[in-house]
Amino acid sequence: MIPFLAYSQGTPKEATINVLVPESPTRTTLTIDGQATKLTGSKRVFVTPPIEPGKTYAYKISVVIEPNNYTKIFRTREVTFKAGDEVTVDMTKEDKEKDKIEVRWVPTPDDIVDEMCKLAKVTKDDVVYDFGCGDCVMLVRAIKQFGAKKGVGLEIDEKIIKEKAEPYIKKAGLQDKIEVRKGDILDVKEKDCADATVVLLYIGDDLGARLGPVLQKALKPGSRVVSHRFTLGDWKPNKTIKVMGVDGDEYTLHLWIVPEKK
Ligand SMILES: C[S@@+](CC[C@H](N)C(=O)[O-])C[C@H]1O[C@@H](n2cnc3c(N)ncnc32)[C@H](O)[C@@H]1O
């Protein structure tokens, strides 16, 4: 009995952390307490080094989930445990601690932007927003080709703003008509886009599902949202069309028209 007590109270012992991550074909990389792991599979078992009995330890568990080759979802949790514990952390779903989501920059071809503007029926009375604006091609063409009166772009990547958007807007001579804001789509509030009458998007389904409810509340009735390829969560589009690009590829475009508020 005595040796057992001595062992259980005094000898350092491992803890086991089971991390559940989204299933394949999603690619997920797991970092535990700042250390990248090479663990694979939907249940990843991490054994800590021997730790002091009786003390509570906290580790930060981070995953980067890549549901496709253009989206990264960053999810973080904290797990607490003691020596000898086996704990399970479910990282398969978003929790109180909100996900961060980023999609990579892939520009929409000029002719497809024009098809989007036609679908949105952009006119000189419109204020056009692009959340995730990249080089601002959507805003530049909405103003140059369709006469929109103002463009507002939101972009998370400072380098893209400086190296792509600003030179492109300058070349088009539209510095006085386009405002580019640095920020995260996930932080957009209703007041941030209350003056938008048209929203053009190319942001992936994951960001779209988060932005959709904000737009539904923020935009005035009659405002139009057009998305290149991707959807806006549960908000069903009024119209979906397929257009042929000059590059010979087929593009899917969705249109939502904000209804009268009930
Ligand atoms: C697919 S590109 C589309 C660019 C442009 N709208 C177009 O169609 O040509 C998506 C853009 O959104 C930006 N972006 C990605 N995640 C974002 C986020 N969470 N908040 C704001 N911008 C984001 C990327 O840096 C990229 O420039």
Residues 167 and 236 in one domain: yes
For residues 147 and 163, state if they share a domain: yes
End-of-domain residue from the set 86, 102, 118: 102
For residues 158 and 182, the answer to whether their CB atoms sit within 8 Å is: yes
Same domain, 95 and 218: no
Question: 61 and 127, same structural domain?
Answer: no
Q: For 191-226, write each residue's pLDDT tens digit.
A: 999 999 999 999 999 999 999 999 999 999 999 999
User: Is the pLDDT at 125 greater than 60, yes or no?
Assistant: yes
Ligand 1 contact, 160 CB (< 6 A): yes
Query: Strand order in 35-36's β-sheet?
Result: 35-36, 27-32, 57-66, 71-81, 100-103
- Decide whether any atom of ligand 1 lies within 6 Å of the 79 Cβ: no
- 206 in the same domain as 152: yes
In a domain? residue 239: yes
CA of 108 to the centre of ligand 1 (A): 11
Q: Would you say residue 251 has pLDDT above 80?
A: yes
Do 115 and 94 fall within a single domain? no
Q: Which residue has the tokens 């929203």?
A: 199
From 102, 135, 168, give the residue that closes a domain: 102
Could you tell me the CATH number of the domain that includes residue 132?
3.40.50.150
**From ligand 1's centre to the CA of 71, what distance in Å?**
10
115 lines ligand 1 (CB under 6 A): no
Domain boundary among 73, 102, 131: 102
What integer pLDDT is reported at residue 32 of this predicted model? 97
Would 262 be classed as within a structural domain? no
Tens digit of each residue's pLDDT (9 = 90 or more) over 35-87:
999 999 999 999 999 999 999 999 999 999 999 999 999 999 999 999 999 99
Range of the domain at 17: 2-102
Of the chain, the percentage scoring pLDDT greater than 70 comes to 97
- Which range is most confident: 8-17, 55-64, 91-100? 55-64
Q: Is the CB of 155 under 6 A from ligand 1?
A: yes
Q: Are residues 55 and 163 in the same domain?
A: no
Query: Over the chain, what HEC string results?
Result: CHHHHHHHHHCCECCEEEEECCCCCCEEEEEECCEECCCCCCEEEEECCCECCCCCEEEEEEEEEECCCCEEEEEEEEEEECCCCEEEEECCCCCCCCCEEEECCCCCCHHHHHHHHHHHCCCCCCEEEEECCCCCHHHHHHHHCCCCCEEEEEECCHHHHHHHHHHHHHHCCCCCCEEEEECCHHHCCHHHHCCCCEEEECCHHHHHHHHHHHHHHHCCCCCEEEEECCCECCECCCEEEEEECCCCCEEEEEEEECCCCC
Residue type at position 38: K
Q: Is the CB of 120 under 6 A from ligand 1?
A: no
Whether residue 30 lies inside any domain: the answer is: yes
> What integer is the mean pLDDT of 106-117?
98
Give the total number of structural domains in the chain.
2
The answer on 69 and 11 residing in a single domain is: yes
Is residue 243 in a domain? yes
Which of 40-44's residues contact partners 24+ apart within 8 Å by CB, and which partners?
A: 43/18, 43/19, 44/18, 44/19, 44/20
